Amino acid sequence: MLYKILKLLIKPVHRLFYKKIIVEGKENIPDGGVIFTPNHQNALMDAMAIITTSGRNPYFLARADMFTKAFYRVVLRLLRVIPVYRKSDGTQSLDRNKEVFSRASRLLTRNKSLAIFPEAGHNDKNRLQALRKGFVRVGFQAEEYANFETSIAIVPVGVFYTDFTRFNEELHVRYGKPVYLQHHKELYQKNPQKAYNVVKSTVAKRIIPMMINIKNQQYYYTFERIVTIYNERLLPSLGIGKKTRQNLFRARQKVVYLLNLVLEKTPDVFENIRLKVDDYYNDMERLGYDDRSIREALNRKKNLPLNTLLLILTAPVYAYGFIHNILPYIIPRAIAKKGGDVHFISTYKFAYGVVFFTIFYTAEILGMSGLIDGWWLVVYGLSLPVTGLIAYHWNNIRQKLLRQYRLQKAQKNQSGELYELLAKRQQVVEALDKAVEPYF
C-alpha cells in the first residue's frame, strides 16, 4: 500500500523532471510473471523510468553496495529494491544470494514483475555492455519452481536520455518483444549454460534496436559529437516523416549506422571528418557554447523582437518564481556536483529536489498562513511550483535569445570568432553529407 501511495506521489514529479517522456511498445508487456531488462546508465532514474511507464509495480534487484548510506537504504526499500551481493561484498555475503534469487523466483511464480539490469553495472556511455546471466537464472529458476507451467517472459527495455545528467531533458523508454522461457525448456533441461547464453543473446539483440548503441570505443566521443551535429540534418533524407522526437531518435541511430560504414569503408574520410569535428568542438567550448545551443539559435532567428518583448513583460513572473524557488533548486544541484559519481547526478537532483522543495514549500506556505488564508493560501501554494517552472524556462529563453542576437550579429558582420565557428560547423556538415551519400 505504501509503495502505491509513493508511486502515485512520485509519478507526476518524475514527469515534471523531464521535458518529454516518450514511451513505445507497452503492448509488448504481457500479464503474469515478467522480468524487465533495461540498459543501465542513470542509477535510480532508470528504475523510476520503469516504475512510472510500465503499468506494473516491479521489484528490483540491485547491487548491495547501494544500500550502504542510510538515506538510499530507506529510498531503495520503499522502491522495492532487493540487494544482490558480489564478491567485493565478501564471500559470506555471496551465500545470501541464494535466498535473494529464491525470493525473486517466487515473486515471478505469483505473477509479479521484476526489473533486473542485465549489464550488472552502470555505463555512462550510449553502449550496451555484455549481459550477465543473473536475470536468466532467476527466470529459469522460477519456471522450475512451477514445473514450467507458468509463462514467464523477459521483456527487453531500451532507455535513452538526450542528456542523462540534466534536468528538463528527454527520456525515451521502449519495451521490446518478450522472450518466453518456456520456449527454451528442452534446451535448459539438457544444457542450462547453453540455454542461458541463447536467452542472453536474444535479449541483447532485442535491446540494441531500442537504444543508441555506439560500439566503437576508440572513436566513441567523435561518434557522439557527430550524432549531436548531424541527426536533424539527416532526418529529411530518411523519409520517415516529420521532425518528431521519435523520428529524431531513429535519425540518431541512423547516424551511428552510417558512421560505422564510413569508418569501415573509407577510414581516411572518417579521419578527416574527425579532425574537423575536434577543431569545431575545441573552438566552441572555448567560446562557451555547445552545439545544441548553436543549432537552436540558428533555427529560431524569427520573431526576435517579439520574443524579447514577451520576455520583458513576463519578467515580474520570473522574479516571483526565482525568489520562491532558487534555494531548493540550487541545493540539490550542489549536492549532485559534489557526489562524484556521474551516474547518480540526476538521482541526487531528483531525490534531494523532492526533499528540499517539499521542505521549502511547506515553510513558505506556513509563513504566509499568518497573512492570508482560505483559497488565497491555496492559490499561493499552487503558484510556487508553477512560477518555479516558468522562471526556469524564462531563464533558458533569455539565454537562447542572447545567443541568437550574437549569432545574428556575427552573420551580419561576417567576421569574428563566432562567425568562423559557424563556418567550421558548416564544413563539418558538408563533409558528412559527402561521406554518407554513397550509403543511401
Closest CA to 28 of 148, 138, 178, 149: 178
Distances (CA, A) of 29 to 44, 157, 271, 278, 418: 21, 10, 43, 43, 50
Closest CA to 193 of 137, 142, 153: 137
323-361 burial: b if 16+ Cβ within 10 Å, else e:
ebbeebbebbeebbeeeeeebbbbbbbbbbbbebbeebb
Q: Distance between CA atoms of 71 and 51, rounded to whole angstroms?
A: 20
Closest CA to 230 of 172, 164, 280, 159: 280
75: amino acid identity, one letter: V
Per-residue pLDDT of the chain (440 residues; tens, 9 = 90+): 778 888 888 999 999 999 999 999 999 999 999 999 999 999 889 999 999 999 999 999 887 777 777 777 777 788 788 888 776 665 566 667 788 888 989 999 999 999 999 998 888 999 999 999 999 999 999 999 989 988 899 999 999 999 999 999 999 999 999 999 999 999 999 999 999 999 999 999 999 999 999 999 999 999 999 999 999 999 888 887 788 999 999 999 999 999 999 999 999 999 999 999 999 999 999 988 889 888 877 776 667 888 899 999 999 999 999 999 999 999 999 999 887 789 899 999 999 999 999 999 999 999 999 999 899 999 999 999 999 999 999 999 999 899 888 888 888 888 889 889 999 999 999 999 999 999 98
Closest CA to 43 of 348, 438, 389, 292: 348
Q: In the chain, how many H helices and how many E strands?
A: 17, 8
pLDDT at 82: 85
Residue 172's DSSP bridge partners are 22, 160
Cα dihedral: 158, 124, 281, 423 (round 10): 10
pLDDT at 336: 93
Closest CA to 26 of 1, 5, 50: 50
Q: Any idea which fold 2-210 has?
A: Glycerol-3-phosphate (1)-acyltransferase (3.40.1130)
Q: Distance between CA atoms of 370 and 365, rounded to whole angstroms?
A: 9
Q: Distance between CA atoms of 93 and 265, rounded to whole angstroms?
A: 50
pLDDT at 90: 59
Grid-cell match 502505491, residue found = 4
pLDDT at 92: 61
CB 149 within 8 A of CB 162: no
Q: Distance between CA atoms of 250 and 265, rounded to whole angstroms?
A: 23
Domain extent listing, the chain: 2-210, 304-423
CB 53 within 8 A of CB 115: no
CB 169 within 8 A of CB 221: no
pLDDT at 119: 94
DSSP H helices in 59-191: 70-78, 91-94, 97-109, 134-145, 185-190
Tally of CB atoms within 10 A around 322: 17
Copy the grid coordinates of residue 405.
Answer: 542576437
CB 284 within 8 A of CB 297: no
DSSP string of 346-361, one letter each residue: HHHHHHHHHHHHHHHH
